[in-house]
Amino acid sequence: MTEDFIQFVRDYYKSPDELIPLHAPVFRGKEIEYVTDTIRSTFVSSVGAYVDRFEVMMKSITGAKYAIATVNGTAALHIALHSLGVGSGDEVITQALSFIATANAIRYTGADPVFIDIDSDSMSLSPMALLAFLESECEFKDRIVTNKRTGKRIKAIVPMHTFGNPGRIEEICKVANQFRLDLVEDSAESLGSYVNGKHTGSFGRLGVFSFNGNKTVTCGGGGAVVTDDENLGKRLKHITTTAKVPHPWEYSHDELGFNYRMPNLNAALACAQLEQLDDFLNEKRSLSMKYLDFFENTKVTFKKEIKNSVSNYWLNTIEFQSKSDRDKFLAETNGAKVMTRPAWNPLNTLPMYQNCVSGSLKNTNHIADRLANIPSGVKWKE
């Protein structure tokens, strides 16, 4: 199967010998034009027309009333949690199968992550596991949720839409509302993904996105926070620009702020990329359907979007029957210069998070040992 897969990928990308990356950026729109325009304007830092335009485009794409451009997705998640008052002595529930930034952003606020299991099909936070943990391990009194093991207040929930595949976010919202917990969606990987026609990142109080170099749309770095809450939207814009009070020449700051605003230079690149989002998504879906057909009669399972959701298929993902089968596949494909990779090590296994509270992580551990991501980028067009 592996040899056939390698040939399939090489035929698709029309690359007989070169390294085939997992997800390389493609610049085939107005990227050079917009970046050159920014340089000529001299507005290359955090003030500029493209930053404003980027925020308008993100509002249009996600359906959110407010969008705040940030330097990267990690900063977006950090500032989102900070704006909700998450701080030292608090805990934030998230999933153990995620990129390190999810847990790091929680820790930046002074809070500790609590790791809950995923659903095997969505690979995102399990609403059933979440509800079971809150009902059995926590006390809900006077609208405050307290972890009975640690005595700390649980302040928020951060589900992550893994590899662009939407999780059961509507069910997670119901649990969050039941326990009056703030919901922040880590949608770093899911630009262009939907649940029942609604864009990921728009279900909770806040949603965050990443535009890193390996994302569906990139500007090198870059991130965004979206929300429908007017007060949060205005405050986020204020504190991401060092909490500077507007004035023609004076520098006055009225609270602790952060230098998290996206530079205009990056925003120019992002705008050119966002103009191509629909084309990128269509091409990525076409590739995913080809992968689905390829793996249909094999012992490998292609991870499809779950019911009532539309995935952007940021990183196509397959599941093997055993860790040894997966590891052999990784070795053979990378040896043939076709880049594949395993899922991240579960966050609760990393040294800085080993002492954090975790629920049962049966699905997490099973999936982490058997998953592989395969080439998923769009092709350059001549």
Q: Is residue 341 part of a domain?
A: yes
Q: How many domains does the chain have?
A: 2
* Mean pLDDT calculated for residue range 86-92: 97
Q: What's the average model confidence in pLDDT over 265-294?
A: 98
Alpha-carbon distance 114 to 91, whole Å? Answer: 7
Average pLDDT over residues 104-122: 98
pLDDT digits (tens, 9 = 90+) for 214-237: 999 999 999 999 999 999 999 999
pLDDT band at 382 (very low <50, low <70, confident <90, very high): very low
Q: Is residue 172 part of a domain?
A: yes
56, 158: one domain: yes
How much is the pLDDT for 193?
Answer: 98
Domain boundary, last residue among 274, 302, 331? 274
Rg of the Cα trace of the chain? Answer: 21
In this structure, is residue 232 part of a structural domain? yes
Helix (H, G, I), strand (E, B) or coil at 65: coil
My answer on whether 209 and 315 are in the same domain is no
Q: Report the distance separating Cα 122 and Cα 107, nearest Å.
A: 25
What CATH number is associated with residue 138? 3.40.640.10
State whether 227 and 106 are in the same domain: yes
Whether residue 15 lies inside any domain: the answer is: yes
Q: pLDDT digit string (tens) for 350-368?
A: 999 999 999 999 999 999 9
Residue 132, in any domain of the structure? yes
pLDDT at 380: 80
Q: Which of 15-19, 59-63, 202-206 has the lowest mean pLDDT?
A: 15-19
- Indicate if 193 and 268 belong to the same structural domain: yes
pLDDT value of position 46: 87
Residues 156 and 257 in one domain: yes
Instruction: Report pLDDT digits (tens) over 132-169.
Output: 999 999 999 999 999 999 999 999 999 999 999 999 99
Tell me the HSE value of 197 on the side-chain side, using a 13 A CA sphere.
Answer: 0
> 306 and 251 in one domain?
no
Query: What is the mean predicted confidence (pLDDT) over 88-100?
Result: 97
Split at pLDDT 50, 70, 90, the class of 381 is low
Pair 228, 368 in one domain: no
Domain boundary among 254, 274, 294: 274
Residues spanned by the domain of 349? 2-26+276-374
Q: What is the pTM of this model?
A: 0.96
Q: Do 60 and 181 sit in the same domain of this protein?
A: yes
Shared domain check, 300 and 215: no
94 domain residue, yes or no: yes
- Any domain includes 302: yes
Same domain flag for 92 and 197: yes
Same domain, 94 and 237: yes
**Mean pLDDT across the chain:** 97
Please check the confidence at residue 274 and state whether its pLDDT lies above 90.
yes
- Summarised one tens digit per residue, pLDDT across range 164-219 is 999 999 999 999 999 999 999 999 999 999 999 999 999 999 999 999 999 999 99
Q: Crossing angle for the helix pair 323-335 and 2-12, nearest 10 degrees?
A: 50
Residue 303 placed within a domain: yes
Q: Domain ends where: 243, 274, 305?
A: 274
CATH number at residue 280: 3.90.1150.10
DSSP secondary structure letters along 7-25: HHHHHHTT-SSS-B-SS--
pLDDT (average), residues 296-321? 97
- Indicate whether 321 and 267 sit together in one domain: no
